[in-house]
Chain A
Amino acid sequence: MAVLVLAEHDLGALSPAVARIVAACSALGGPIDVLVAGQNAVAVADQAAMLAGVSRVRTAADIDLTAETLMPLLAALAPDYSHIVAVSGAVGRDVIPRLAAKLDLMPVTDVIAIHGPDRFDRPIHAGNAIETVISNQPRQLLTLRASAFPAPKLAPAGNAPIEAISFTGIAPLAQLLATHRTEGDRPDLATARIVVGGGIALGSAEGFRLIEQLAEKLGAAVGATRAAVDAGYAPNDWQIGQTGKIIAPDLYIAIGISGALQHLAGIQGAKKIIAINTDPAAPLMKLADYRMAGDLFTVVPALIAALG
């Protein structure tokens, strides 16, 4: 049997998460097809076709990426596949459970390790416990946390065939009215190698500019705590934690972040953590590989200057 990976993409660019989950899916066995649906499907398909390990790219340009329209397409394709896999992002989380109900299957979501075609690890209780589950179902529906799987070492140089699917979609009941994008050309937070995060101690959206300046200096993505987002200092798509984005960068610089349980749940995969905080006893300061106690409004500008 074969694996179908649902591609996430935005504004004509394939999400960097897709390369990671395609590489991870080699542990499932069988050829890997990538499905690219929605606007820009043709341009995105070219990028997907280059990924190592992809047998075939299938496109459905007329189907948009909402759960209601995507689900019938995935259900129609399901008989050809032993595994249907999506990134644990807003699209995958939205559609995979809806598909699972339709196919009467129990999905396994937020997978962080694949032990074989039907045995997976997933975090529970905000990452404070990891469960290993075995599925004896005829077909596996999965979402994978891209941050838990390494980016492939090899540059994409594949040349998989691209085939358009003819599928008459349904007219969705939910209608998109408007989108509000957070501006910026920084790296994708969920897959960034370097992340600078800020907490409530920044004091204002203006104060948060300091985090952005340091991130710009380092070529890093910007993250925020739930408290900082709730206070309106940072947009919602910057939130890191149990209920926001889960990150696993090589370097996480946490500034003015005490380390609430739900924030720590989002950074457990970080390889190196550097914390800057006035309170040396803050939970995150105790976890960090390097910690500097001090007022962030003094430390961070001095740090930016010292970085040259």
Chain B
Amino acid sequence: MNKILVAVKRVVDHNVRIRVRPDGSGVETDNVRLSMNPFDKHAVEAAVQLVEQGDAGEIVVVSIGPAGARDVILTALAMGAHRGVLLETEARLETLTIAKLLAAVVREESPDLVLLGKQAVDDDSNHVGQMLAGLLDWPQATFASDIKIAADGIQVAREVDFGRADYALPLPAIVTADLRLNTPRNAALPMVMKARQKPLAVRPATDFGIDLAPRLTVERVVAPPERSGGRAVTDITELAKIIADAVTEAEIG
């Protein structure tokens, strides 16, 4: 295939223990470490591996967000993507808007394959790949744990509720990455330096004639109820009795 488009998002780093603002307005993101959404790293890695195997030509990486989102594009460029596009906006965009903006980029770029992470670990939505496929009327394979090139397209293993299901998809197609797809590389310093020389176009998100206003109103954001610790048990017989009683309780409902 000629071209792969990978969409990446900058999120609060998944190792950060987030804090909910006391006024209920959201999650604290000031002075918090931000990095590429972990699932998106798997998507970038999959694209880079396809290029290394000679199965794909160019990788275009796209992000949507504030100027600082350049950082995650640079990360992808350091991993091996060829050029970047940032659709810049300070607005809080919903997944439907993100999908529409990505569809506009796809129409300009005409990639053979679009790779995305299956969900972003901040809003945990798990929407954008499926929405993009719906907008473009392309086939989709979500929760991918393996991608192989086939004679007339790709073969994708999907992680589903009962185990695994393998699909054949013609191109162009949308694939969303699950964690077991691969092990993303850490870019070595020379690659990080080289990434800065690669083309990175910045365009205002308002350039596409797409309404960026959200459809949902977030009324409040609160922390979940905290669980308080319990008691240490040292005797196996006592533990067995606690479990037996809990099982009886669970069976009664």
Contacts and interface: CB of A to CB of B under 8 A. Distances in A.
Contacts of A130: 221-224
Contact of A132 (B164, B179, B218): B218
20 contacts: A10-B161, A10-B162, A71-B134, A101-B134, A106-B216, A128-B20, A129-B222, A130-B223, A132-B222, A133-B219, A136-B215, A172-B139, A179-B163, A218-B243, A250-B250, A289-B231, A290-B233, A293-B232, A302-B236, A306-B239
B207 interface: no
Interface in A174-232: 174-182, 190, 193-194, 218-219, 226, 229-230
Interface stretch (A34-42, A87-95, A161-169): A87-95
Interface stretch (B67-75, B105-113, B117-125, B198-206): B117-125
Interface string B1-44: 00000000000101101101000000100000000000100000
Main secondary structure of the interface of A (DSSP, over half): mixed
Given A106-B96, A243-B119, A272-B246, A303 B124 contact: no
A251 interface: yes
A194 B250 contact: yes
Q: Sort chain A's interface into a size bin.
A: 35 or more
B60 interface: no
Contacts, number: 260
Interface stretch (A22-30, A43-51, A118-126): A118-126
A173 B170 contact: yes
A110 interface: yes
A303 B247 CA distance: 14
A287 B127 contact: no
B217 to A, nearest CB: 4
Given A106-B215, A136-B217, A307-B243, 18 more contacts: A106-B214, A109-B125, A125-B27, A129-B18, A129-B222, A173-B139, A175-B169, A176-B166, A177-B166, A182-B162, A194-B250, A218-B243, A237-B160, A237-B161, A251-B243, A273-B230, A280-B232, A290-B242
B179 A230 contact: yes
A136 B215 CA distance: 7
Contacts of B236: 299, 302-303, 306
Interface of B: 12, 14-15, 17-18, 20, 27, 39, 94-96, 99, 118-119, 121-135, 138-143, 145, 155, 158-170, 173, 178-180, 214-224, 227, 229-234, 236-237, 239-240, 242-244, 246-247, 249-251, 253
A100 B131 contact: yes
Given A101-B99, A174-B168, A177-B168, A125 B159 contact: no
Interface of A: 8, 10, 67-68, 71, 89-91, 93-102, 104-110, 119, 123-137, 151, 153, 172-182, 190, 193-194, 218-219, 226, 229-230, 235-237, 242-243, 249-251, 253, 261-262, 268, 272-274, 280, 286-293, 299, 302-303, 306-307
B140 A105 contact: no
Given A97-B134, A306-B237, A107 B127 contact: yes
Contact of B135 (A101, A229, A230, A280): A101
A287 to B, nearest CB: 5
Contacts of B250: 193-194, 249-251
A253 B244 CA distance: 12
B217 A134 contact: yes
Contacts of B15: 261
Nearest to A125: B18
Nearest to B126: A93
Contact of B123 (A89, A124, A229, A253): A124
B162 A303 contact: no
Contacts of B219: 119, 131-134
